[in-house]
Amino acid sequence: GDSVTQMEGPVTLSEEAFLTINCTYTATGYPSLFWYVQYPGEGLQLLLKATKADDKGSNKGFEATYRKETTSFHLEKGSVQVSDSAVYFCALSLGSGNTGKLIFGQGTTLQVKP
Amino acid sequence: KAGVTQTPRYLIKTRGQQVTLSCSPISGHRSVSWYQQTPGQGLQFLFEYFSETQRNKGNFPGRFSGRQFSNSRSEMNVSTLELGDSALYLCASSLGGVETGELFFGEGSRLTVL
């Protein structure tokens, strides 16, 4: 079945370090891919998205490229800040005709130390 | 523009009781979906309502139910509470539905079952 797999956390980095959070997916069709972020005590927020192969989503210094050949959508940031500490969720949607199907990964906790 | 509002934010119940959680979506959004978040199971989809109709349901027992009103506000109900129902319950609203992947989440209702 359709699924999303994220790297296990927690990921602990020092401020200004480079971040990569791996996400791979399994899908029968052509999914759209998303990254959501959940800050402590809050709900999830959409961080970025990509709707087709080779698209790059970006927001707040974060980037992710939709790689169809490796079925991946890894999240990257060049220089993390303490304020980036949060849980990051990768998700996929198969779009219209698949009502209600937004599949989340297990989440990866990022801790950034000053 | 007001965000998604969930009430109550925190509640404590005992086994066997029932609970009703409320969600007010962003104005104009017709889709409301519900998720259960726990440390062990991550984010699990409960159900989605769109224009008062349940469009999809996750793999939860019948003790979990929901409804949506004509003003798009939604409630979910859990009857005969079990200890394992302790979780953060998140509501999300969307203009076009869960499959668009563009969800706006509330801060959640944290349920503790004793």
State pLDDT tens for residues A58-103: 999 999 999 999 999 999 999 999 999 999 999 998 766 655 678 8
Test mutation, B43, B51, B94, chain A, max A CBs within 10 A: B43
Query: How far from A31 is each of A36, A89, A96, A106, B101, CA to CA, in Å?
Result: 16, 16, 10, 18, 10
- Judged against a pLDDT cut of 90, whether residue B104 lies above it is answered with yes
Taking residues B14-31, report their average pLDDT. 97
**Over the stretch B38-77, which tens digit does the pLDDT of each residue have?**
988 888 999 999 999 998 888 899 999 999 999 999 999 9
Instruction: Give the pair of three-digit tokens for residue A65.
Output: 């490229």
Q: Are A79 and A66 in contact (CB under 8 A)?
A: no
Query: Nearest to residue A8, comparing CAs of A87, A92, A91, A85?
Result: A87
- A-chain CB neighbours of B99 within 8 Å are 93-96, 98-102
Confidence bin at A1 (pLDDT 50/70/90): confident
A43 compared with A72, residue with greater pLDDT: A72
Closest approach of chain B CAs to the CA of A17, in angstroms? 27
Residue of A nearest to B34 (CA): A100
Residue A9 CA to residue B88 CA, distance in Å, equals: 20
DSSP A72: B
Query: Nearest to residue B72, comparing CAs of B39, B27, B35, B104?
Result: B27
- B-chain CB neighbours of A41 within 8 Å are 107
What per-residue confidence (pLDDT) applies to A56? 97
- Judged against a pLDDT cut of 70, whether residue A34 lies above it is answered with yes
Instruction: Give the pair of three-digit tokens for residue A88.
Output: 């990051």
3 state SS of B83? helix
What per-residue confidence (pLDDT) applies to B56? 86
Share of chain B above pLDDT 90, in %: 82
Q: Are A111 and A12 in contact (CB under 8 A)?
A: yes
Residue B52 CA to residue B74 CA, distance in Å, equals: 9
What per-residue confidence (pLDDT) applies to B41? 85
The minimal CB distance from B101 to the residues A91, A105, A106 is found for A91
